[in-house]
Structure 1
Amino acid sequence: MRKIYISVFALLVGSAAFAQNDNNPKSNHGNKFEQLGQMLADPNMYRSASGAPGPKYWQQKADYDITATLDDDKQRLDGVETITYYNNSPDPLSYMWIQLDENQHKKDGESAKFDESKMKDKMTLRDLQGIMGHNLDLGDHIVSLKDAEGNPLTYIINETMMRVELPKTLAPGEKFKFKIAWWYNISDRLTIGGRGGYEYFPEDKNYLYTMAQWYPRMAVYSDFQGWQNKQFTGRGEFALTFGDFKVHLNVPADHFVGGTGECSNYAQTLTAEQLHRWEQAKTAKEPVEIVTLAEVKKQMQGHATARKTWELHAENVRDFAWVSSRRVVWDAMATHIDGGKTVMAMSIYGPEAYPLYRRYSTKLVAHTLKVYSKHTFPYPYPAATSVEASNGMEYPMICFNNGRADKDGTYSEAVKYAMTGVIIHEVGHNFFPMIVNSDERQWSWMDEGLNTFCQFLAEQEWDNKYPSQRGPAAKIVDYMKLPADQLEPIMTNSENIVRFGPNAYAKPATALNILRETVMGRQLFDYAFKTYAHRWAFKHPTPSDFFRTMEDASAVDLDWFWRGWFYGIDPVDISLDSVKYYRVDTKNPEIEGTYNKALADKGLQHISAQRNKEEGIKFAVEADTSLKDFYGKYDKFAATPLSKQSYQAMYDGLSPEEKKFYENKSYFYELDLSNKGGCVMPLIIEWTYADGTKEVERISAYIWRKNEKNITKVFAKTKEVKSIKIDPFKETADIDENNNSWPREYTPSRFELFKSQAGPRGASSGSNPMKESLQKSN
């Protein structure tokens, strides 16, 4: 075999950081493909090694009966609730922990002190509030705490957690009923911050109340950590217990109330016309405006002194939230989910959101429920509601979103897509974590990451050209390029993450999309992901349960993937360092002579010979023909009768298989690749042939298992290769595309002369073509 060296690209590279294990720290292999082993929780009778709930899996239950009164003049909420707590655990309990999330807003709260702060050239009121604090009377005020017989219970409050001493040990299988009376001053959500609170509209002197984390609620007691009583500081969200709710909300008579679950007294709270429209919406294929914009504009002018009580109920939910205001439109339509269930998709929004929400919101709710149901399980609840509140937060069957038009009714494309994305995302949270009930305070990615991945699926099924910002592999590259001191693994507690959005939302969503499209394939991934969702619906999963189920249901060993993407911070950077080209010496003088002559001529085309020719130098052997002897006329590469006869004798002695190999022109390409980033990934190679055709070849990440830093691989081709590209479709989040090709291709960078300032959440920072078109028409 003759070796013909075509081209080698050898680049000087800096040393990459490779995460090492204790088992084999000095080796170039056996680390990234080591099984997770002790990094996962041990399986037991509660959680099996397959990732499914074990035969003795249990979880607690808490039922709530709540009556609350909203004071629209003082922005205060008073409530009384009865909680029935069921101890389904095998453990006797001597005390319980209750969450008082409103205490996060207390003026002397711990969460207001431990974050860094800096001065800026431009400071908002909220920036200053964060530095100076406030002197408002915020936080929960416990009026009384008694058992079912009216006896006072002993309790102590530690920031956002209240420990209640039980009068006697609560044995396994027993239940305990107790009653809490409380009140708190509702905070201005736009200045104090937080998820729940009010927004004031000075132009019409009205309030929008989005009531979340508004009642004392049970902390989770689980088999894997006991009481989850980690403090609520505003970042890590919630771990909650499933239960049934009966809620009575007393509000001004001209307010509309929407919330978790279903309302059982619309006949007493709606007008006859509104009640009729509600009945129409139950079978409508388009959203029906039940509380109309005209009605809202009329009632915004006055403030009712009379009051109404709205009765809502919900079964098997982990939380309850609601909205109340006199300045909201309400529309709804029936949505049919696979499996025959009919769900009411609904939206609640103010006049400023009407141009966007009336057209899109309820249809987005319906679309989200259908897509998520297809990829997980049929949506089990009777309703899902999107509320415009210049916000982005989720609760069972209701969520608060953003998306407001300008005063002239126009809006930018950025505002439209921000609204579309947040509605899909927050409605999608009904599945993760409202039903697949992971612990958000411990592992944000288990709800935000999984939900953002499903959001990406729903966005892409909404519009094939949807500009999804999280999900495609290329979108995470800038984050993965950051210095190591600005990164942390996905498997990091919520409170300790520096860049929360990329880490808890984007990176896990990207990882799952890579699993689906590149590592596992859609068929295997979709089955395994749906298995996880079914196994853990209405239960409390952990990361181990997810990792194990994905492998158990697919027969794909993914420990290397979880290790790299979820437990590590190494980026993906696979470099194509060199390409060597080999071809078979056929011994055929007619073929090899032509090839060797071309090669020899190429070797004589050095720069001096080329410039001598350009200068018109008269060469001696051309000026004096007598200098040319036999060798001056002899073609040493030409086939001779003797060489042909020798080749034919050799060829006749070949077996049929050997002859076939000679006849099929084979080209061999030896590729040297290095893992500069550290995160092992599959190889996706695009071959472009001399005839213009292309071929994509996919090789499992296991190619790195014997050398995690450098590999060499030979490929046999039947056509000459013109160029090679690694990761041609940007599937792996490779942070440096400049070392992915042969011959090298360099992507030009661009710069901005000016950088526009960021606007408020959901606002457009660019042009508003809709407004511009109106101006032109006028």
Structure 2
Amino acid sequence: MTINKLTFCLAVLLATNQSFTRAQTAPASNYDQHKAFDPLFYTQNGNEFRSAGGAPGPKYWQNRSDYAINVTLDTAQHRLSGSVQITYTNNSPDTLSFVWLQLDQNVYREDSRGEAASQYSGGRFVNRSFTQGDEISSVSIVQNGKTQAASYRVNDTRMKIQLPAALKGNGGTVQFRINYAFTIPQYGTDRMGRLQTRNGWIYEIAQWYPRMCVYDDVLGWNTLPYLGAGEFYLDYGNIEYSVTAPADMVVAGSGELMNAAQVLTPEQSSRLAKARTSDQTVTIKDSTAVISPTDKRKGNLTWRFSCKNTRDVAWAASRAFIWDAARINLPGGKKALAQSVYPAEVASTKAWGRSTEYVKGCIELYSNKWFSFSYPVATNVAGIVGGMEYPGIVFCSAKATGAGLWGVTDHEFGHNWFPMIVGSNERKYAWMDEGFNTFINGINTKAFNNGEYYRPADISKTGPGMFGANAEALTTIPDVIQNSQLGNVAYFKPGLGLKLLREQVLGPERFDEAFRTYVHRWAFKHPTPWDFFRTMDNVSGEDLSWFWRGWFLNTWKLDQSVKEVKYKENDPAKGALVTIENLEQLVMPVEVAIQTADGKADTVKLPVEIWQRGGTWTFLYPSTTTLSQVTIDPQGALPDVNRANNSWKVKN
């Protein structure tokens, strides 16, 4: 190094130190551009399973689980009993010597891990009564043409089955046959249960058969226990199932009813056929038929359903059900059926009398915007469950009315896209289903019936609460999220994050293209958060790591301010020098509204890259006269934690 170069470097270093010293005397700032724009975000390269661009790789694989289930509903004892045959296909390159299954009913046992980990003060996911959980009477394995009793062990909500012969990868198959029963809890932690109405019980049945745990290329076996808050992660496959119930009950379930002629009356069959071609709601079974049934069949009937390429199925049954339906119009001329089942007590048009209209409306909107609805029927069930989603069927509170019923219906059916179609791991990443769904709910509500129930949120007031002292990162496991933070972390903040990304960062056109690409790439597959981040980056053409890091991986706050206004050479006619600041660690693009003394108004938009140089930025505004007011984020579009410093005004 020459003397001149050394002298120059020392001078630069000295100037840097002097600048640092001056900055220390300025108003306190928590901002560090090196953290916000740290280039080391993606710490792993793409591979043959998951590409660097966010798409499934050329050797992406996932295992498959097909089910044949036959159960009987005992309404006297509130019990379900039957059998399930699981055909499991190992598409992984690995040889498996054992498998894991989920026994979710065991969460309702008094000695369950979920019960032990629940707060004594109660809550949505706390048991209010107890059952014996899944009562397994036999487990057998069919492998290599031989049937034999299985060696298995149950640990809380998981069951491990040791295979008599290792299951080969790349397409090896094995069958499991399990006989089981369980008592249906009245309150099934707001995911299933039964409601007493004046015309009989309503049964909402979910997590009702042993299901395979997912074996994937990320973690191998995913065996997090079911504790209540964390939802589900499941394989895809075809599910055929039958429900035997008293003849006076209506059974509604995921998928398509395969034996309508055997279980419906001729009049019901005729009305159902009419509904399949009607955009207006058609009543299949009315209150008169509930109170004074003309169908005198006795004993039991068996309802048979089929649901293809699905990760789960659920169903409901009641003699109290009013049943109505209408046609759903899908892209490409395809059709499906929207239907609702509910008790007579809530049948008014201010309540469940409009349910099928809501089902039809929300599914048509989602299908045209993102990806076509993938099930033949969409059923809304009124019951004890406040709001819970399953493929092609949702459970919503029988007490919901008006805007509340629209909101819960739209939300629960939004889950048919996240996570039913895009099969993320809900047990670990609540924001990838609840948050994404909250985001698309907002777009739907604005569009439905010319915004009948749309009320724009005041984002400007959400900052202090969202970024409070107890804030948790969005990547927190659901069972770790504190009760007071669940709504913020799983629903609101990730939903708002996508809204800001769409409206403030990328714009609707670029965002929608990238988001739609993500849905189509990962439909009926298992994406990770990184697959989502990479897809959005690559399709939009932006390095959004600053946004993912700040909004999703950390609890950084946003505080933009207007520091001061000066004039070039002290002459307003030569332009105004406007200095703005970023005082907290989260960064966003900037919009500044400017008013001049002669009454003119203007807006300046600045990209997020201005904050790469530090937390203070000065720009030249081509004024010809003095400014009277400068306001950052004039529309209140950002959740700024301190809006008191967002404006500069001329002092009178």
Q: Same fold (TM over 0.5)?
A: yes
State the distance in 2 between where 1:71 and 1:255 align.
Answer: 12
One-letter identity of the residue aligned with 1:491: T
Report the equivalent of 2:391: 396
1:431 to 389, 400, 417: 417
Matched, 1:420 2:416: no
Deviations 1:92-143 (A, max 9, x none): 001111000000010111111223335xxxxxxx679969x75x43300001
Task: Please state how far the C-alpha of 1:367 moved relative to its aligned partner.
Answer: 1.9
1:72 is matched with 75
* Shift in CA distance, 466/289, structure 1 to aligned 2, threshold 3 Å: closer
Alpha-carbon distance in 1 for matches of 2:436, 2:642? 27
Which residue does 2:648 correspond to in 1? 742
Q: 1:559 and 1:193 mapped to 2: Cα distance?
A: 37
Displacement of 1:353 after TM fit? 2.3
Residues 566-609 of structure 1, C-alpha deviations (whole Å, 9 max, x = no match): 01111211111222234676xxxxxxxxxxxxxxxxxxxxxxxx
Say whether the 8 Å CA contact 1:583–1:667 is kept in structure 2.
yes
Deviation at 1:276, TM superposition (A): 0.5
**What SS is found at the alignment partner of 1:510?**
helix
Residue in structure 1 matching 2:337, options 337, 341, 344: 344
CA distance in 2, matches of 1:257, 1:579: 69
Equivalent residue for 1:31? 35
Cα separation, partners in 2 of 1:129 and 1:549, compared to 1, 3 Å: closer
- CA deviation map 1:293-318 (0-9, x unaligned): 22123359x99851100000011000
- Secondary structure of 1:495's counterpart equals coil
Deviation at 1:520, TM superposition (A): 0.4
Cα distance, 1:667–1:387 mapped onto 2, change above 3 Å: farther
**What residue number does 1:308 align with?**
301
**What do the CA deviations read for 1:523-548 (whole angstroms, capped 9, x no partner)?**
11010001101100011000000000
2:164 is the counterpart of 1:167: yes
2:540 counterpart SS class: coil
Structure 1 contact 441–494 (Cα < 8 Å) conserved: yes
Contact 1:99 1:162 (C-alpha < 8 Å) held by counterparts = yes
Task: Specify the SS of the correspondent of 1:151.
Answer: strand
Deviates more, 1:696-705 or 1:473-482: 473-482
Show CA shifts across 1:435-482 (max 9, x none). Answer: 100000011101111111011110111256566689763464243241
List per-residue Cα deviations over 1:154-200 (Å, max 9, x = no partner).
100110000011110000121001200000011011xx634112122
Do 2:286 and 2:322's aligned partners in 1 also have CA atoms closer than 8 Å? yes
CA contact under 8 A between 2:467 and 2:555: conserved in structure 1?
Answer: no
CA contact (8 A) 1:367 1:458 kept: no
- After superposition, the C-alpha distances for 1:640-687 in whole angstroms (9 at most, x for unaligned) are xxxxxxxxxxxxxxxxxxxxxxxxx84522222222232111111112
Equivalent residue, structure 2, for 1:285:
279
Per-residue CA shift, 1:39-59, capped at 9, x if unaligned?
5x4421000000000000001
Structure 1 counterpart of 2:604, from 694, 697, 702? 697
Say whether residues 1:383 and 2:383 are aligned partners. Answer: no
Question: Who is 1:158 aligned against?
Answer: 155
- Cα 1:570–1:343 change in 2 (3 A) is same
| Higher fraction of strand | 2
TM-superposition CA deviations, 1:288-343 (whole Å, max 9, x none): 0111122123359x998511000000110000000000111111111111222111
The letter for the 2-side match of 1:214 is: W
Alpha-carbon separation, structure 2, partners of 1:365 and 1:129:
26
Question: Superposed, which structure 2 residues align to 1:99-110 within 5 Å?
Answer: 99-110=102-113
Q: How far is the alpha carbon of 1:563 from its aligned partner?
A: 0.8
Partner in structure 2 of residue 327 of structure 1: 320
Residue 148 of structure 2 aligns to a residue in which SS? coil
Secondary structure of the 1:373 match is: helix
Kept after mapping to 1: 8 A contact 2:152/2:161: yes
Q: Does 1:372 align with 2:370?
A: no
Kept in 2, the 8 Å contact 1:456–1:471? The answer is no
Quote the Cα distance in structure 1 between the aligned partners of 2:165 and 2:357: 52
Q: 1:684 aligned to 591, 612, 620, which one? A: 591
Matched residue, 1:494: 478
User: Residues of 1 paired with 2:193 and 2:539: CA distance?
Assistant: 43
Aligned to 1:230: 224
Aligned to 1:546: 532
The 1:95/1:520 distance shift into structure 2, 3 A limit, reads same
**Aligned equivalents of 2:172 and 2:372: distance in 1?**
33
Aligned match of 2:210: 216
Question: Does the aligned pair in 1 maintain the 2:257–2:305 contact within 8 Å?
Answer: yes
Please give the alpha-carbon distance, in whole angstroms, between the structure 2 residues aligned to 1:334 and 1:258.
16
Residues 71 and 36 (structure 1 numbering): CA distance in 2 closer, same or farther, change over 3 Å?
Answer: farther
Which aligned pairs between 1:185-204 and structure 2 lie closer than 5 A? 185-189=183-187, 193-201=189-197, 203-204=198-199
Kept in 1, the 8 Å contact 2:423–2:527? The answer is yes
> Is contact 2:131–2:185 with CA below 8 Å preserved after alignment?
no
Q: Equivalents in 2 of 1:109, 1:470: separation in Å?
A: 42
Separation in 2 of the partners of 1:350 and 1:529? 39
Quote the Cα distance in structure 2 between the aligned partners of 1:472 and 1:42: 40
Matched with 1:573 is 559
Which residue of 131, 136, 140 maps to 1:146? 140
Aligned to 1:177: 175
2:4 matched residue in structure 1: none
| Maintained 8 Å contact 2:568/2:574 | yes
Cα distance change, pair 214–195 in 1 and its aligned pair in 2 (3 A): same
Equivalence for 1:56: 59
> How many residues are matched?
620
Q: Does 1:732 align with 2:603?
A: no
Give the Cα separation in 2 of the matches to 1:339 and 1:575. 49
The code of the aligned residue for 1:215 comes to: Y
Distance 1:334 1:129 in 2: 35
Deviations 1:235-293 (A, max 9, x none): 01000000101111000101101110000111111111111100100110101011112
Matched, 1:94 2:97: yes
Q: CA 1:85/1:164 → structure 2, altered by over 3 Å: closer, same or farther? A: same
Relative to the length of structure 2, the TM-score reads 0.90
Do the aligned partners of 2:125 and 2:190 also contact (CA within 8 Å) in 1? no
**Residues 495-534 of structure 1: matches in 2 within 5 Å?**
495-498=479-482, 499-534=485-520
Indicate how the Cα distance of structure 1 residues 374 and 479 shifts in structure 2: closer, same or farther if over 3 A, else same: farther
Query: Following superposition of structure 1 onto structure 2, how do residues 7-22 of structure 1 map, counting pairs within 5 Å?
Result: 15=28, 17-18=30-31
SS in 2 for 1:424: helix
Secondary structure of the residue aligned to 1:437 is coil
| Secondary structure in 1 matching 2:33 | coil
- CA distance in structure 2 between the aligned counterparts of 1:187 and 1:240, rounded to whole angstroms: 23
Instruction: Say which SS state the counterpart of residue 441 (structure 1) adopts.
Output: coil
Aligned counterparts, 1:662-677, within 5 A: 666-677=573-584
Q: Secondary structure at the match of 1:30?
A: helix
Number of the residue aligned with 1:112: 115
2:242 maps to which residue? 248
Out of 261, 264, 267, which is 1:270 matched to?
264
Distance between the aligned counterparts of 1:156 and 1:686, measured in 2? 66
Query: What's the Cα RMSD here?
Result: 2.5
Structure number with bigger Rg: 1
Any conservation in 2 of the 1:75–1:186 contact (CA below 8 Å)? yes
- What is the TM-score with the length of structure 1 in the denominator? 0.76
Amino acid at match of 2:272: W
> What is the distance in 2 between the residues matched to 1:248 and 1:424?
28
- 1:161–1:364: structure 2 CA closer, same or farther, 3 Å change rule? same
